[in-house]
Amino acid sequence: MISVSAPSVTVVLCVLAAGLAATVLGVRLFTRRGSARARARLRRRHPLGDTPTAARRVRRAAIGWTTVGTLLCLVCAALLVVTHDPQKARFEARDPYRSCGDVTLAQGQELGSRAKREIGCLRRAHDRDEGAELKVTALTVEGDPVREYYRVTPHGALEIYTDSTDDPWSDGRWSSSGCDDPDWNPEPSCSR
């Protein structure tokens, strides 16, 4: 499976600007004044060319530039819609909480057996109505990392954000779940 990374917002905005410029150029050629200037330029380059031919060339150029610009703008809009991940945006806008650590699990290793101290940190934060966060990186069968962020809010809720963007066999998106009454045995979950 081929993994294609999403284009950066900067690249999309640059292509969008080029599309808008091409559209403006095409629309300007459609105007009477812009069309007259373009025909005069064509006549200077091709002195034997007749006016109807120059007019047709200007009209084709105007349609071409407008079409290219419009298509570039549509492609950019589609890229912005397709690549936007609301769960990732929600995660990035989260309130910062105290860290309970960063755990990396080997393939097949369970969080409850590997990270007792870190889970204890989350549990203590939950019992004290404090916020805390634990980052867990687990490897899939293929060896691709999937990151989970366990967050306990000061209100006692558990939030779990999962980042599977580096796993080409998944949907390649972020997901989240949460509950107000988490289960702590053997690891934090919202199974109740």
pLDDT level of residue 147 (50, 70, 90 thresholds) = very high
| CA 23/CA 18 separation, integer angstroms | 9
**CB 61 within 8 Å of CB 29:** yes
pLDDT level of residue 82 (50, 70, 90 thresholds) = low
**CB 139 within 8 Å of CB 106:** yes
**Region 115-144 average pLDDT:** 92
**CB 126 within 8 Å of CB 152:** yes
**CB 156 within 8 Å of CB 67:** no
**Region 155-166 average pLDDT:** 91
pLDDT at 153 over 80: yes
pLDDT of residue 73: 75
pLDDT at 174 over 80: yes
pLDDT of residue 162: 92
pLDDT at 170 over 60: yes
Q: Which of these ranges, 2-11, 16-25, 101-110, 114-123, has the smallest mean pLDDT?
A: 2-11
pLDDT level of residue 146 (50, 70, 90 thresholds) = very high
pLDDT of residue 53: 67
Q: Which residues pair with 148 in a beta bridge?
A: 136, 162
**Region 141-154 average pLDDT:** 92
pLDDT level of residue 18 (50, 70, 90 thresholds) = confident
| CA 32/CA 19 separation, integer angstroms | 22
Looking at every residue in the chain, the average pLDDT score rounds to 79
